[in-house]
Amino acid sequence: MLATIQYNSKKHQIDLSKPLDISIPLRASKSNVNAWYLEEPKIEPVKDGEWIASVAEGADVNFNNIWFNPHAHGTHTECVGHITEKVHSINQQLKQFFFLAEVITVAPEKKGDDFVISKKQIQFALGNKKRDAVVIRTIPNTTEKLSHQYSHTNPPYLLSEAAIYLREKGVNHLLIDLPSVDKEEDNGELLAHNAFWNTAGRKRMDATITEFIFVPNSVEDGTYFLNIQIAPFENDATPSKPVLYEILE
């Protein structure tokens, strides 16, 4: 199924029948990807006395309660409301869902006790390209990312200089395969979040950060159309399903 998308006066074709899903599913399992010191997600049938809302238990329907945290338990998209005193909802701020995106692969560099993504690395990977969205895949890139337990592991993160560079290039949507663009324990500074959303100046209300993605090695670096699908939560963040489409020349 071919679709035509017009971007900057140029028309591009994508094949809607060949989506490249870069989200991590949420599962009620201890092997579900996890961060921020929380227990695993729970998906359980409603119980009312002896009645259990499960067809396997004799009910007419499956009727589950779900407990999870969008920031800790899988792919999620967040807005500036994640770090502002005033409540802002991702469902109100994200109003467009297709973007021209660049997939880049970066090997975080050693800096002291940390591994970081620098401005120089982003500059080298992007060159002169202007994109709505940048999708960062870090290496090593193995399927272990689908179940890794990140709490207390000090995972790699984005330096504020890199976030400023992306902001100044006009990138509105930043996607990364880590639990956060910031250092796990940074005394609440959240330097990359603040830099990308420009909280010290005019806040970038329509800009988003998507964390905990997984870009398979079969997806080559390059230009794609990105569809960010979100659940309509009135919250700073929501579970999301970013999908890439190859551009047919």
DSSP secondary structure string, 108-128? PEEETTEEEE-HHHHHHHHTT
> Per-10-residue mean pLDDT for the chain, 249 residues long?
84 93 97 98 97 97 98 98 96 96 98 97 96 98 98 98 98 98 97 98 97 98 98 98 94
Return d(Cα 196, Cα 198) in angstroms, integer: 5
Q: Which fold has domain 2-26+70-248?
A: Glucose Oxidase; domain 1 (3.50.30)
Are 169 and 128 within 8 A, CB to CB? no
> What is the end-to-end Cα distance of the chain in Å, rounded?
15
Supply the pLDDT for residue 10.
85
Supply the pLDDT for residue 118.
98
Supply the pLDDT for residue 43.
98
Supply the pLDDT for residue 232.
97
Supply the pLDDT for residue 55.
98
Supply the pLDDT for residue 82.
98
Report, in angstroms and rounded to the nearest whole number, the Rg of the chain calculated over CA atoms: 19
Supply the pLDDT for residue 6.
84
Supply the pLDDT for residue 164.
98
Supply the pLDDT for residue 8.
78
Supply the pLDDT for residue 77.
98
Q: The whole model's pTM is what?
A: 0.96
**Neighbour tally for 49: CB within 10 Å:** 5
